[in-house]
């Protein structure tokens, strides 16, 4: 039997309950990539570019993981939005999408610059160092990540924490923890490059919590999500 227009209109795409795994994948991929980079090159103030003459297989692996981390982060954003459902607000959703996409764009820009340095450095490292091109590119990468991307990540968390606070779809302890982590990212830059790891750690925590709730609802179909009442 050919489905009617009404039947087709009533068919809604259902988000896979295991889609929250995307956030976990982002945390693992981005965290691994970022850790490999920090462990392979000196601190920004001490970096002279000497590592360019060393084997770069580890750094190439780190760079190659970032596109997949970005894809997983987009899925994570979709999962978070799906959980809001009809409670979604246009004002906060704009801030949510804007900060998330800007964060991802800056990470991709920085990784592209860094990948270019690795590619050119394996062939002509003296060109990068002697002309000052390496110092300029390294400073740009540092600024993009530790001055802009990290603050967009903090903005992303503040907006999401505010949405959760207003809609009560997440527990209060997670809301306050989100605010705390966001403040760390916004105001603790410059102390340590490892602070950037706060964001993937937070994404991992949120994703695990959502995944637990999803499987809990599978086992108990009539259960009401944490923080919501039967009247919602």
Which has the higher per-residue pLDDT, 70 or 91? 70
pTM score, two decimals?
A: 0.81
Is residue 217's pLDDT more than 90? no
> Stretch 176-183: mean pLDDT, rounded?
96
pLDDT tens digits for range 5-52: 444 344 444 555 566 789 999 999 999 999 999 888 877 777 777 777
Tokens representing 108 are 């991709």
> Which of the two residues, 189 and 21, has the higher pLDDT score?
21
Q: Which own/partner pairs from 9-18 qualify as long-range (CB within 8 Å, at least 24 positions apart)?
A: 15/78, 15/79, 15/82, 17/214, 17/215, 17/217, 17/218, 18/211, 18/214
Mean pLDDT of 211-229: 57
Q: What is the pLDDT of residue 10?
A: 41
CA distance 176 to 186: 15
Q: 145: phi > 0 → left, psi -120 to 50 → alpha, else beta; which?
A: alpha
Return d(Cα 155, Cα 26) in angstroms, integer.
18
- The answer to which of 53-57, 104-108, 211-215 has the lowest mean pLDDT is 53-57
* Of residues 227, 46, 73, 231, the one with CA closest to residue 149: 73
pLDDT of residue 94: 86
pLDDT reading at 153 higher than 90: yes
Q: CB–CB of 128/117 below 8 Å?
A: yes
């Amino acid at each position: 039997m050919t489905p009617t227009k009404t039947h087709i209109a009533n068919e809604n795409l259902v988000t896979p309950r295991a889609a929250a795994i995307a956030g976990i994948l982002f945390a693992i991929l981005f965290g691994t990539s970022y850790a490999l980079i920090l462990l392979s090159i000196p601190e920004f103030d001490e970096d002279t570019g000497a590592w360019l003459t060393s084997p770069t297989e580890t750094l190439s692996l780190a760079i190659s993981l970032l596109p997949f981390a970005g894809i997983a982060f987009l899925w994570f954003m979709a999962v978070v939005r799906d959980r809001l459902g009809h409670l979604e607000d246009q004002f906060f959703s704009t801030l949510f999408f804007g900060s998330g996409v800007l964060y991802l764009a800056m990470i991709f820009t920085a990784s592209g610059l860094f990948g270019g340095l690795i590619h050119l450095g394996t062939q002509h490292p003296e060109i990068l160092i002697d002309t000052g091109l390496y110092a300029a590119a390294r400073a740009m990468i540092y600024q993009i990540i530790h001055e802009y991307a990290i603050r967009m990540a903090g903005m992303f968390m503040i907006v999401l924490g505010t949405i959760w606070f207003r809609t009560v779809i997440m527990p209060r302890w997670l809301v306050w923890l989100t605010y705390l982590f966001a403040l760390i990212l916004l105001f603790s830059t410059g102390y340590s490059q490892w602070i950037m790891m706060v964001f993937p750690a937070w994404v991992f925590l949120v994703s695990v919590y959502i995944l637990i709730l999803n499987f809990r609802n599978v086992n108990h179909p009539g259960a009401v999500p944490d923080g919501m009442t039967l009247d919602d």
